[in-house]
Amino acid sequence: MSKEHLISVARGELPADLVLANARVVNVFSGEIEPANVAIWGGRIAGVGDYHEAKEVLDLGAKYLVPGLINGHTHLESSMLSVGQYARAVVPRGTLAAVTDLHEIANVCGLDGIRYVLDCARRLPLELFLMAPSCVPATHMETSGASLGPDDIKKVLRWRGCIGLGEVMNFPGVLAGDENVLKKISSAEGKTVDGHAPGLSGRDLNAYIAAGIGSDHESVSLDEAREKLGRGMYLMIREGSSEKNLDALLPLVSDKTYPRCLFVVDDRSCVDLLNDGDIDAVVRKAIGRGLDPVRAIQMATINAAVYFRLKGLGAVAPGYLANLIVSEELTDLRADMVFYRGALVARKGEPLFTLHKGTGAGQTHTVNIKPYGVESLRLFPVGEAEPVIEVIPGQIITRKRMERVKVRGGVIVPDTERDILKLAVVERHRASGNIGLGLVSGFGLKRGALASSIAHDSHNIVCVGASDEDIFTAVKEVERLNGGLVVAAGGRVLDSLALPVAGLLSEEPLEIVANGLERLEGLAADLGNSLPSPFAALSFLALPVIPELRLTDLGMVDVNQFRLIERGS
């Protein structure tokens, strides 16, 4: 791009490539709606104002012109879609930039997995920004398929498109002054460092922020969010498929606080992307809860661009990339047209760009389980009460409960009347033979089992069930598929969805994957499940950095104490 040419177009001396005429421009700097024409040349906005000369003039008929949306924190792997199909889902809805650390695929395939995703994204109309994954694995209390040390992080931070350090989930390591954790943070000096600090408060929160961490997306209460914002953090207000914090945190957004608040989804399923949308859905929901539409758009555009230092993104202004949404209404932000670097890439929700089918062959065959029998799933009682993970609907935090359990023949059995089910995590990377066993409440299953090779963040196989036999059947089918989701009952597989790329992603079209997930969720409901997104909820039960109680392949984890619970203690 020639700056001289762009300047000449801006001055009206040379014609633009495209003029979007008769627009109502959403000005994220002033917070106003500005009637204007917008001149575009070389993929950038040359000027906003009185422009008419262009190779093409498109009259918008007084529709709104909005900056392309920026998803400031997402794990696109949670969509279960290939990168191209992910773009096909979000770009027509106006998401034109996403910030991701790819720690899901990195935990399975290491740096090769990250490179695979970035390579697939190169020819798509989506700005994909990488945050170097800081916690692979998240903790020492689980088995992952890869490990990224400080030297690996230094290398990734030098990659083109890497803009900072991804969420520092090992907050106990930060507080304890762990050498490797602090080396990773120090290596990102001068770049953005994302946080992950569920429940941190007081001096511990001060210490975590003092380490150089700038944001948090784990707040679930207004008081928690207010404290973090007041101590200088950017507040990411999260509304994903399993993590729904918008209603609780939106009252914090005011004239004084909004510049340091931004919307994110963290994890959003293919079903939600297809039926509801991405960041656009969060904007609509916030507006529906009473937030001013322009303010909601600011929190989905310029605020993220400022925090992540994304020069040229987040606004309709001279010199900015022409990543734009045309919408008839602001209160119901639906994209009539979507422009990426000045080119029309979607209309009325339909993509106009070509997908180049990639191959994930290098990231397949990642399920490697040591042979075991159903007897390995027996859980023996060690006291009068056992720890039970209580799932909280709409949240990924859990509660720790101690319950008297049902025992038959000297072993603990699921108690469907009290909604106490068996939970198993089977190690699938190194054929170690590790199987973590525990109990969970909240799914409501009366029979059968649900299994998944998506189990944040190390992605071993996690399974919840009402009998050992169905758990065994479901896990064996995940193994046969080389990754996927499974519903089993009565000793047989009822249905499944294959995820052959790293056990996380499908290579099928968006609609097929979404329909497959909806079908499985319907079967789960037939078995008694009461959660709206049971596989999403299941996937977080092995994440030992979210309070209070989790299960990994090494056993039950008390997250508040950051230790494995020894059987008998």
| Average of per-residue pLDDT values in the chain | 96
Identify the burial level of 471 via C-beta atoms within 10 angstroms of its C-beta, where 0-12 means exposed, 13-18 middle and 19 or more buried: buried
Select from 399, 303, 322, 214 the least CA-distant residue to 28: 303
- Enter the pTM of the model: 0.94
Residue 297, phi then psi, degrees to nearest 5: -70, -40
Residue 516, phi then psi, degrees to nearest 5: -65, -40
Select from 436, 428, 344 the least CA-distant residue to 387: 436
Give the model's confidence band at 110: pLDDT under 50 very low, under 70 low, under 90 confident, else very high: very high
Residue the block writes with tokens 């529906």: 288
Structural element, H or E, at residue 59: strand 54-59
* 264 vs 275: CA distance, rounded Å: 18
Give the pLDDT score at 182: 97
DSSP string over 542-553 = T-TTSSSEEEET
Domain 3-62 is in which class?
mainly beta
Calculate mean pLDDT across residues 95-110: 97
* 178 vs 482: CA distance, rounded Å: 35
Nearest-5° Cα angle at 132, 143 to 311: 160
Q: Does 241 score more than 90 pLDDT?
A: no
Q: Tell me how crowded residue 506 is: count the other CB atoms within 10 A of its CB.
A: 25
Give the pLDDT score at 566: 86
pLDDT tens for each residue of 276-291: 999 999 999 999 999 9
Calculate mean pLDDT across residues 443-470: 97
Q: Where are the alpha helices (DSSP H) in 2-82?
A: 3-10
Instruction: Show the tokens assigned to 511.
Output: 């609609």
HSE-up of residue 527 (Cα within 13 Å, Cβ side): 31
Calculate mean pLDDT across residues 113-128: 94
pLDDT tens for each residue of 191-210: 999 999 999 999 999 999 99
Instruction: Show the tokens assigned to 384.
Output: 């009068």
Select from 481, 431, 466 the least CA-distant residue to 80: 481
End-to-end CA distance of the chain: 66
**DSSP strand E in 169-291: where?**
192-195, 215-216, 234-238, 261-264
3-class DSSP state of 296: helix
Separation in Å, CA 431 to CA 140, 246, 501, 513, 527: 18, 41, 19, 29, 31
Give the pLDDT score at 102: 96
Calculate mean pLDDT across residues 508-525: 97
Instruction: Show the tokens assigned to 498.
Output: 């294959």
Residue the block writes with tokens 């009998």: 467
Separation in Å, CA 551 to CA 177, 180, 374, 389, 569: 25, 25, 19, 9, 16
Cβ–Cβ under 8 Å, residues 88 and 352: no
Instruction: Show the tokens assigned to 513.
Output: 């994957």
Select from 276, 336, 294, 252 the least CA-distant residue to 62: 336
Domain parsing of the chain, residue ranges: 3-62, 69-312, 363-564
Q: Which fold has domain 69-312?
A: TIM Barrel (3.20.20)
| C-alpha radius of gyration, the chain, whole number | 24
Give the pLDDT score at 502: 97
Give the pLDDT score at 366: 95
Cβ–Cβ under 8 Å, residues 315 and 305: yes
**DSSP strand E in 365-410: where?**
386-391, 398-403, 407-408
Q: Does 351 score more than 50 pLDDT?
A: yes
* 547 vs 565: CA distance, rounded Å: 14
Give the pLDDT score at 569: 43
Q: Tell me how crowded residue 52 is: count the other CB atoms within 10 A of its CB.
A: 12
* 222 vs 552: CA distance, rounded Å: 30
Residue 92 neighbours by CB under 8 Å, 6+ apart: 335, 338, 345, 346, 349, 350, 351
Give the model's confidence band at 264: pLDDT under 50 very low, under 70 low, under 90 confident, else very high: very high
Residue 371, phi then psi, degrees to nearest 5: -55, 140
Tell me which of 68-77, 157-166, 355-364 is least confident: 355-364
Task: Tell me whether domains 3-62 and 69-312 share a fold.
Answer: no
